Amino acid sequence: MKEETKLKLQAYLDGEVSNRETRDTVDLLRKDNEAQSLFAELQFTKTALRGNEMEMKLPESRDFYWSKIRREIERQPKELARSFDGRWWKPAYARIAAGLAAGCALLMISFLAFNAGTSPSLPGEMESTGEEMGAITYHSNADGMTVVYLVDRE
């Protein structure tokens, strides 16, 4: 028997065929013994499944069941955030953080004070007082030198 014929028998059993296909299938079942036996097997299987399928019943109403899932989803991120915040504001952690902050501030002040004589490295500025004198500034990192070349415009 062709695969297509088997599928047609299954569709007939499920009531999914047109009037013309119904006539053809009935005609086939009437004439073909193999088709008859397959149809009988399919009918038996369908009946067996329908009668013995386990039904899952919820212990609560459908709305309550889904609202429980929604509440659980909403609760999780809040709980995570709460646990993170709580950890940081425990007194022991706060004391350690305050100590570290004070230490860093002290180090920074000391560093700035030590380097007050050498640290500023803002770019150079230039001011011309004579219109007749221009300047070209160039800095060479390789030679460690800033060159201000004064050019007479006259």
Partner 1 sequence: MNKFFISPIRLATWPALFVLISSVGLANVAAADTKLEVQLIWGTNGESSPDKNHKVLDPALSKKLGMFKWKKYFTVNREEISLTSHGAQKIRLGQCEVAIKQIEGSRYEINVFGKGKHVRKITEKITKEDSLAIAGDDKNDCAWIILIREI
Question: Residue numbers of the site for partner 1 (CB under 8 A)?
Answer: 106, 109-110, 113-122, 124-130, 133, 135, 138, 140, 143-152
Q: Which helix (H) or strand (E) holds 146?
A: strand 145-152
Beta carbon of residue 100, minimum distance to partner 1 (angstroms, whole number): 13
Beta carbon of residue 82, minimum distance to partner 1 (angstroms, whole number): 31
Beta carbon of residue 147, minimum distance to partner 1 (angstroms, whole number): 5
Nearer to partner 1, 59 or 144 (CB): 144
- Residues whose CB is less than 8 angstroms from the CB of residue 42 and which lie 6 or more positions away in sequence, other chains included: 9, 10, 13
Tell me how far apart the alpha carbons of residues 85 and 81 are, in angstroms, rounded to a whole number. Answer: 6
Q: How many CB atoms lie within 10 A of CB 5?
A: 15
Nearer to partner 1, 92 or 122 (CB): 122
Tell me how far apart the alpha carbons of residues 32 and 46 are, in angstroms, rounded to a whole number. Answer: 21
Nearer to partner 1, 80 or 150 (CB): 150
Nearer to partner 1, 76 or 141 (CB): 141
Q: Are 34 and 9 in contact (CB under 8 A)?
A: no
Nearer to partner 1, 82 or 95 (CB): 95
Beta carbon of residue 138, minimum distance to partner 1 (angstroms, whole number): 8
Beta carbon of residue 137, minimum distance to partner 1 (angstroms, whole number): 9
Q: Are 146 and 139 in contact (CB under 8 A)?
A: yes
Q: How many CB atoms lie within 10 A of CB 76?
A: 9
